[in-house]
Amino acid sequence: MVQTPQAVANQASRSARDPESRAQGPGQSTDPIILVEGLRKTYQTSRGPLHLFDNLSLRVDSGEMVAIVGQSGTGKSTFLHILGALDAPSAGTVYCASTNLASVSLRQAAAFRNREIGYVWQFHYLLPEFTAEENVAMPLMASGTSKREALAIAANWLKEVGLEDRGTHRPGELSGGEQQRVALARALVNHPRLLLADEPTGDLDETNAGMVFNLLQTLHRSHGLTSILVTHNLDLAARCSRALRLEGGKLGPMLTGK
């Protein structure tokens, strides 16, 4: 039985205060950290309304690592944007980390993202004029942390992603895989509960893609994250807790060999 949004909100609020609750693995939580019901997203086009999702539903428990696959244009990135409060649903219920995303203001959405979401894109979007350490420290300084403290925290995160010796290098001096690891450290520096990753290995060769995915899995477990990944790589998707296919506006299980 799907619980009421208020029950979801109460449980998520308790989880935020309880580190042990955050570290639970999939199947150990009785209440979802993400609950989507009846989601619809409509765009107005010159040819009339485009309905991207058809009464889409999803439940994700704390600690799960869920992959979403599907053809280009099916709405995978848009779905992540809605979960990350970067876009708004046209209809339906979207509860994510105790927040009703269907009714937040722009200011509330920004606060939600800063507090709860770590986002990794296919392209790293690092600022080229700043060092790796400074790039990782940016979210901390934006939230009021002193530069000295932010850089110290950033250095620890670079060590965690295996780049302790690259902190003073600028993005142009790093390989593609290294740049994406810096982006991952930046996404997690504020200790979010949710990691949303949109094709995080799509811009990398096979070797670097495997290394970045292995790192994602390690950080997911060690920091008690709940992670949603959009990917075209079916082999990597199959290594997640669940792999879902977005097709025809709905989410269903990814079938082997499909």
Res. 143 pLDDT band, cuts 50 70 90: confident
CATH superfamily, domain at 62-87+105-253? P-loop containing nucleotide triphosphate hydrolases (3.40.50.300)
The pair of three-digit structure tokens given for residue 191, joined into one six-digit string: 């200790």
Please report which residue ranges of the chain form alpha helices under DSSP H: 5-17, 19-22, 76-83, 106-116, 132-142, 147-160, 176-188, 206-222, 234-237
| Residue 167 C-beta-side C-alpha neighbours within 13 Å | 18
Does the model's pTM come out above 0.85? no
Q: Map tokens 């096979």 to a residue.
A: 206
Bridge partners, residue 42, by sequence: 51
pLDDT value at residue 149: 97
Q: Residues 18-27: what's their mean pLDDT?
A: 39
Q: Residues 198-222: what's their mean pLDDT?
A: 90
DSSP, collapsed to helix, strand or coil, labels residue 39 as strand
C-alpha–C-alpha distance, residues 134 and 128, integer Å: 10
Res. 233 pLDDT band, cuts 50 70 90: confident
Q: Which of 69-78, 151-160, 195-204, 242-251 has the highest mean pLDDT?
A: 151-160
The CA–CA distances, whole Å, from 157 to 35, 64, 164 equal: 30, 22, 8
- φ/ψ of 219, rounded to 5, equals -70, -35
